[in-house]
Amino acid sequence: MFALPQYATITTAIKSDHILLVTLNRPEVANALNTQMGEELLDLWNRLIANPGPVRCVVLTGAGDKIFCAGGDLKERNGMSKAQWQRQHELFERMYWTLVDLPYPVIAAVNGHAYAGGLEMAMCCDFIYASKTARFALTEVTLGIMPGAGGTQNLPRAVGDRRAKEILMTGRPFDCNDALQWGLVNKVCESEQTLEQALETAACIAGNAPLSVRQIKKSVRYGGQMELRTAYRFEVEAYNHLIDTEDRHEGVKAFNEKRKPVFRGK
């Protein structure tokens, strides 16, 4: 029986078939990331890697309709010693990297502002749907620090080096239209439809062969770090793992029988 624990700072819910909705749930403090939320997200991601159960796609959003995540909880951090700050940041680093390591797709439904670590969390997802009211920024430079959860690496890969350096070095916010034009987000939605549209896309993905989806994610992620010929070889290896699966046989059979395939992840 697949079951997840109850958390204090996040909520989880299975939506329709094979989709897990995860909600950052500290709306009273703009869904800011504190130590407890970091621990709970790390626990959740580790559990999903170890035993995904029926989950084939995750949608990550924030509680309320104004804020996705404001980044680190600066009230909690106020007065921390260097050692305390570093211990907390190491926890956040593990949580972000474990999110990246999830083998199945994660869609960020950015329902409002995504600043600093909140934007970094969204960028650790596979792609982003954003509300028309969403604004984005990496504001760390205005606080005497810099992004430390992938911001200086994921942002240039999304928008290019020159645009990323401007965003990172100024700390200025930008809106959803700029984010769409620059390639940071995939789609801009009406505010009340952001989550709904992300869930619709998650349902489309979850209806496809799950082993194929996983291999695609792996091929894109690791192939992008290789020179092109090696990446081609990596892609073919990923492809070859699918040839003898039950799902591949089912897909071809269903096509010829003119029916919808029933994929079982085998």
Active site residues: 120, 140
Tokens standing for residue 65: 């309709």
